[in-house]
Amino acid sequence: MASRQLSLQKFMDHLPQMDGSVWWHHSAQIIGQVSIRRNSSIWCGAVIRGDVNSISIGERTNIQDNSVLHVSHPTPSRPDGAALFIGNDVTVGHSCILHGCYIADASLIGMGCIVMDNACIESEVLLGAGSLVPEGQILQSGYLYLGRPAKRIRPLTDEEIAYLYYSAQHYMQLAVQYHGDANRV
C-alpha cells in the first residue's frame, strides 16, 4: 500500500483528490490538480499530470495502461489555458494522449488516440484506435469517428452504445478484483 501512495505527488499546493473507491496501480503517476471521482480506475504506467491546470475524471471511468493526461497553462491569448475534463463511464484505451480537452460521458477512446487542446468529444462517441482529434474539433454524440484527423464514419448501433457502458462496468469490476488482491499482499 505504501508504494501506491508514492504514485500520488503534490505540485505546489495541490495534492490529487480521489474518492476512497478509486483504484490506481502503483506504477501510475498522479500529480497536482487532479480530481478523480468514485469507482474510477487508473492503470499501469498512466501519467496524469495536473501541474499547470486542472484535470477532472468522473465516476466509473478507466484510464488504461501508459496513457498520458496533461493540460495547457494560461497564456495572454488563452487566459484559462486548457484544463482536461473526462466525464462518467468513459473508457480511455491503452497509450492514449489526452491534452486539455473535454470528453463527455459514456465515450470510448480507442488505443493510441490523441485528443488535443479544446477538442470536445460529446457523450456516447466511439473514437477508433489510433485516431487524432485536432485542437478545437467537436465530435458529435452517437457516432463512430476514425482517422488522422478523425472523421465521422457512421452512427453507432444500439449494440455499440450498450458496449460503451459495458466497457466502463467491466473495468470497474476488474479494478475491484485488483483492489482485493492488493489487500491480500
CATH of the domain at 93: 2.160.10.10
Q: How many domains does the chain fold into?
A: 1
Neighbours of 85 (CB within 10 A): 17
How many other C-beta atoms are found inside a 10 Å radius of the C-beta of residue 25?
Answer: 18
pLDDT score at 133: 98
The pLDDT assigned to 148 comes to 98
What local confidence, expressed as pLDDT, does residue 118 receive?
A: 98
Full-model pTM:
0.94
Residue-wise pLDDT for 100-128, tens only, equals 999 999 999 999 999 999 999 999 999 99
Q: Can you spell out the DSSP letters for 88-100?
A: SS-EE-TT-EEES
- Assigned C-alpha cell, 177: 478484483
Mind giving me the DSSP string for the chain? -HHHHHTEE-BTTB--EE-TT-EE-TT-EEEEEEEE-TT-EE-TT-EEEEEEEEEEE-TT-EE-TT-EEE-B---SS-TT-B-EEE-SS-EE-TT-EEES-EE-SS-EE-TT-EE-TT-EE-SS-EE-TT-EE-TT-EEPTTEEEETTTTEEEEEPPHHHHHHHHHHHHHHHHHHHHHHHHHHH-
**Could you report the per-residue pLDDT of 8-49, keeping only the tens digit for each?**
999 999 999 999 999 999 999 999 999 999 999 999 999 999
Residue 91 domain boundaries: 2-184
